[in-house]
Structure 1
Amino acid sequence: MKKVLLLLLILGMSTVLFAKGQAELGTEENPIVWSFVPSGDTQEIAAGGEEVADMIYEKTGIVVEASVATEYAGVIEALSSNPPSAHMASLATFAYVVAADRGVAEAELISVRYGRPFYDGQIIAGADTGIKSLADLAGKTFARPDPLSTSGWIIPALTMRANGINPDTDLAEIVDAGGHTGVVTAVYNGDADAGATFVDARSNIQEDNPDVMEKVLVIEVSAPIPNDGVQFHPSVPEEMREKIINALLEIADDEAGNAALNKAYSWTALERHQDDFYDPFRQVLQAAGVDAASLMGE
């Protein structure tokens, strides 16, 4: 009888361990998945992300797996799945607000580019399209990086509406270019009349296309927008989260680490900021009479 009870106890413990997935989070068998979005060259982002993940492991012993998604919505869904298939993310402003409203992301770090934790968006147009102002966008083909891109669609769409252009009905076609570089390329090649990116994404193709600044013109610049950064799923333990945050701050201050962050996302530094850093952007949405869920089509 005792042997039977012991066997049942062992089986019961095995079932519990199996139900919990057995492997501890942050191990080879169950790594922390850090999901990036393709804001630039996917291969460069993946390579830089893997380098940073290796550095985190060297400093903390925590295994992090870098993953590049095809779109913002994919990262949000990965954070929203049960159990989550992503534990860290580097979402742009609007996508983060959507994820935070769902309760699946918590901001901890904000990236710095050109000495600022903010960036500006721009609306660009082909020099030979005749587009000189927002009003000229009516009837034109418009390229965007992603439907959830803050600088590449959310802010430009709100700006167009404020200037009498309904992007849903007044644009001839909306093209999803798969990233900011893709938008510049589409406008440069004439595959789109206009588009929107961060300032100044044109430099991403300037080496191969030295005349891009003359062929692709800026017709509008947005107000400052919070940079992307590092967010965590709420299920990541606080102690583990702090180790990763401190490691990333050290990596950002190290020459090799800074180069890897720059390769991945053009980050030159990281600053600690939490959810309230995004409140001014939320106020922009509220002033426009929209909310994140409605723009997501929810």
Structure 2
Amino acid sequence: MKFSKKAAIVASSLLCAISLAACGNSKSSKESDTYTPKELTVQFVPSSNATTIEAKAKPLEGLLKKELGIPVKVSVSTDYNTIVEAMGSKKVDVGFLPPDAYVLAHKQNNAKVILQAQRNNMLGDDDHYGNKKVDFYRSQIIVRKDSGIKSLKDLKGKKIAVQDTTSTAGWIYPVVEMYKKGVNINKDGIKTVQVKGHDQGVLSVYNKNTDAAFTFQGARNLVKGDAPDVNDKVISIYKTKKIPNDTITVRGDMSPKWQKKIATAFKKIAKTKKGHDIVSKVYSHEGYTDSKDSNFDVIREYDKTAEKLDK
């Protein structure tokens, strides 16, 4: 984040100062994308229980070290804003960021997207996965079947479990599409409760702690071990438009050589049995495909609409 003697001597000094400043600026611009990590720091935000996710993600350290030839440290953050700030202050090299958090990181710190996740497509309304790999997903609004809530307008005056405000599926897409359909989450008597992880959103509805929750489509699968009847008790009343899949993003000054090296490593690891098991358990990722900043222009449009919520 972007957060200075007498005639001839004076002239000479000024020329020197200008020359040095120019040299300094030139050096700075060249160094802006020449960062070469000696130890790679990778950070996640849990989509479910943080302790469990960290344990599942830790084996990535060894796989990445083998591919990159340097030590790797994998950790779990509390929320996406924390990762964005850590990447901006150069404490984190690689972040697993959802689209909206990536857009924020790019805007604030020139963070660079290198990969987009691939997930299996969703079939039907019971969070059942198909076999086709796609680079998008959807957010959904879930309620208890016995709640009497049938439409978005029925959410007025209700309590909704949400993720933090940089979560694309857990906040941005559902609130924007509600707004476009006449329901303002900030002005229609709705109470929001921020929870940590989409599994907690599902459970808050299942346990009747909230009336509804914003989750990614497929989130009910996260709690079937604890709540086998979740699909019978909790239903989806709304699905959003397509959302670009999660990103693997690097800090803004990462050298092009290392951007490519890291991207290659993740793609290769995801194709191995051990690597695929890890990324699948952590984020339901099936693999990775190359990405570019313009893929997320649709997110920027949603962000502009989200800014109208308080007006």
Q: Equivalent residue for 2:248? A: 230
Instruction: Measure, in 2, the Cα distance between the counterparts of 1:54 and 1:274.
Output: 28
2:226 partner amino acid: D
- Residue 25 (structure 1) shift: 5.4
- Residue 181 (structure 1) shift: 0.5
Q: Equivalent residue for 2:115? A: 109
Does the C-alpha gap of structure 1 residues 228 and 36 become closer, same or farther in structure 2, counting only changes over 3 Å?
same
SS in 2 for 1:167: coil
Q: Equivalent residue for 2:51? A: 43
Q: Is the Cα contact below 8 Å between 2:99 and 2:246 reproduced in 1?
A: yes
Query: How many residues end up aligned between the 2 structures?
Result: 264
TM-score (norm 1): 0.83
Q: Equivalent residue for 1:239? A: 257
Q: CA RMSD in A?
A: 1.9
TM-score (norm 2): 0.80
1:65 partner amino acid: K
2:198 partner amino acid: H
Instruction: Measure, in 1, the Cα distance between the counterparts of 2:138 and 2:110.
Output: 26
Does the C-alpha gap of structure 1 residues 171 and 211 become closer, same or farther in structure 2, counting only changes over 3 Å?
farther
Q: Does 1:155 align with 2:173?
A: yes
SS in 1 for 2:97: coil
Provide structure 2 residue ranges, at least 5 long, that are not aligned to the other structure: 1-34, 121-132
Q: Is the Cα contact below 8 Å between 2:95 and 2:250 reproduced in 1?
A: yes
Q: Equivalent residue for 1:11? A: none
Q: Equivalent residue for 2:93? A: 87
SS in 1 for 2:114: strand
Q: Equivalent residue for 1:96? A: 102
The equivalences for 1:170-181 within 5 A come to 170-181=188-199
- Of 211, 217, 237 in structure 2, the residue corresponding to residue 193 of structure 1 is 211
Does the C-alpha gap of structure 1 residues 278 and 172 become closer, same or farther in structure 2, counting only changes over 3 Å?
closer
Instruction: Measure, in 1, the Cα distance between the counterparts of 2:156 and 2:103.
Output: 29
- Equivalent pairs: percent with the same residue? 33
* 109-118 or 126-135: bigger deviation: 126-135
* 214-223 or 231-240: bigger deviation: 231-240
Provide structure 1 residue ranges, at least 5 long, that are not aligned to the other structure: 1-23
Q: Is the Cα contact below 8 Å between 2:36 and 2:255 reproduced in 1?
A: no
Instruction: Measure, in 2, the Cα distance between the counterparts of 1:171 and 1:94.
Output: 26
Q: Is the Cα contact below 8 Å between 1:142 and 1:194 reproduced in 2?
A: yes
Instruction: Measure, in 2, the Cα distance between the counterparts of 1:50 and 1:210.
Output: 28
Q: Is the Cα contact below 8 Å between 2:174 and 2:214 reproduced in 1?
A: yes
- Residue 183 (structure 1) shift: 0.3
The equivalences for 1:276-295 within 5 A come to 276-286=294-304, 288=305, 290=306
Instruction: Measure, in 1, the Cα distance between the counterparts of 2:109 and 2:240.
Output: 28
Q: Equivalent residue for 2:283? A: 265
Q: Does 1:206 align with 2:214?
A: no
Q: Is the Cα contact below 8 Å between 2:118 and 2:286 reproduced in 1?
A: yes
Query: Which aligned segments of 4 or more residues in structure 1 are displaced greater than 4 angstroms?
Result: none
Q: Is the Cα contact below 8 Å between 1:137 and 1:171 reproduced in 2?
A: no
